[in-house]
């Protein structure tokens, strides 16, 4: 199914917000047991790393790519092939890590909270770009 290119940004927004919300939920479910100033600091560092070095750049890259498309595109083109592969590896690795029991709950609480908020913010940023295109400021 083909959609107008700006709706690819909305799809990216929804996918990233759902993924981020789920990861935040997993982290927050166990965070209360490990709630310390040091763990909050670690979560903020993890958030900052993923936001500024990975997801922030990814949002800019994909937004620029999507805007450059012709008017209508297949709905799955909100990501490129490389991003789908990375997403699959991250999901598989995260599920395996939790199911294997190799990662202690403290790690899940701290890491997933920071990562999840960064993912959620990436989704919000895709939504902001969508709204800017749909409702441009008139001068």
Spatial CB neighbours of 116, under 8 Å, sequence gap ≥ 6 = 20, 21, 22, 23, 24, 25, 26, 27
> Average pLDDT, stretch 15-34?
94
Contact (Cβ atoms closer than 8 angstroms) between residue 16 and residue 122: yes
Residue 138, SS3 per DSSP: coil
> Would you list the domain boundaries of the chain?
2-134
In this structure, what token pair is assigned to residue 3? 């959609």
Model pLDDT for residues 45-91, shown as the tens digit of each residue: 999 999 999 999 999 999 999 999 988 998 888 888 888 898 899 88
Let me know if 28 is exposed, middle or buried by CB neighbors in 10 A (0-12, 13-18, 19+): middle
Residue 138: pLDDT band with limits 50, 70, 90:
low
> Average pLDDT, stretch 118-131?
96
pTM of the prediction? 0.89
């Amino acid at each position: 199914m083909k959609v107008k290119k700006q709706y690819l940004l909305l799809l990216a927004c929804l996918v990233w917000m759902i993924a981020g919300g789920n990861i935040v939920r997993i982290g927050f479910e166990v965070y209360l047991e490990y709630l310390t100033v040091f763990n909050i600091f670690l979560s903020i560092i993890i958030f900052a790393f993923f936001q500024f070095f990975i997801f922030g750049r990814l949002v800019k890259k994909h937004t620029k790519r999507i805007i450059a498309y012709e008017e209508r595109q297949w709905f799955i083109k909100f990501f490129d092939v490389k991003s789908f592969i990375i997403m699959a590896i991250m999901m598989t690795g995260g599920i395996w890590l939790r199911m294997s029991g190799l990662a202690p709950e403290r790690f899940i609480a701290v890491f997933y909270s920071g990562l999840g908020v960064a993912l959620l913010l990436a989704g919000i940023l895709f939504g902001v770009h969508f709204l800017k295109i749909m409702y441009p400021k008139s001068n």
